[in-house]
Amino acid sequence: MNCADVRSLLEEYFEGLVVDRRADAIAKHLATCPGCAFELHQIERVAGALAVVPQAEPAEDLLRTISARIAALPAPRQGRVAVGWRWVGVMAAVVLAFLTVVSYLLPVLISESAASGIAVIGPVREASVMVHEWFAAAPDLLFALWLALGKVWQWFALAARAAAPTLGMYLIAEIGILWAIVFVVQTRSGQTPARQALVI
């Protein structure tokens, strides 16, 4: 590990959240690097000095004052309790990742099914051709809009990260983003397996 690697993990290391080989590697680096060791020392002494700061106690009448101000307000709106928007983010990221993968692979699957004599789903294939041709021929402005959409997707994934119940769900979202970038770049250069299959 170099200094940048170690410093990026120093907070977690101080909290004891870095374990196994990474913790050993950091300890080894700290033993030989005065700069990083000094930075850890900074964390320890500031944290140590602030850890003993007592809880500040409010004045006795603060609770009464807050209650009086609340009592003077109209009741909060009694609508439906807000849906967890982060869960919408999780679902959107997963659905978008799924759609990207499908749109990438579907034409290949269709082409293979045609080769094996299985009936081709005409409208789906036509739609796939249209999408691929559109990407290939899209002016730069539309291409930029597509990338902007990718950015929105990334925000969904960030929201997903905050609420994702499992690491797996977050990884699906992140992989979806990477896949989308590869998909768009390759499609514009006409190199996707899908495009090659469709051209045949």
Partner 1 sequence: MRDDSELIRLCLAGHRDAFDALVARHYRGIYSMVYRMLGNSEDAADVTQDAFVRVYTRLDTFQLDRSFLAWARTIASNLCIDHLRRRGTPAVSLDERLESGQQHADMGPGVSPEDQVEIAEDSRRVLAAVQQLPEKQRAVLVLRHIEGLKLEEIAETLRMPIGTVKTMLFRGREAVRKMVGEL
Contact footprint for partner 1 (CB under 8 A)? 7-8, 11-12, 15, 39, 42-43, 45-59, 62-63, 65-67, 69-71, 73, 75-79, 81-87, 162-163
Cβ atoms of residues 101 and 176 within 8 Å: yes
Query: What separation, in Å, do the N-terminal and C-terminal C-alpha atoms of the chain show?
Result: 49
CB of 61 to partner 1, least distance (A): 9
> Between 43 and 121, whose beta carbon lies closer to partner 1?
43
**Toward partner 1, which CB reaches closer, 62 or 145?**
62
Dihedral over Cα of 56, 16, 6, 9: its sign: negative
Q: Which is nearer to partner 1, 31 or 73 (CB)?
A: 73
Measured from the CB of residue 80, what is the shortest distance to partner 1 in angstroms? 8
Output the smallest distance, CB 99 to partner 1, in A.
Answer: 26
Nearer to partner 1 (CB atom), residue 78 or residue 116: 78
CB neighbour class for 48 (10 Å; exposed up to 12, middle 13-18, buried from 19): exposed
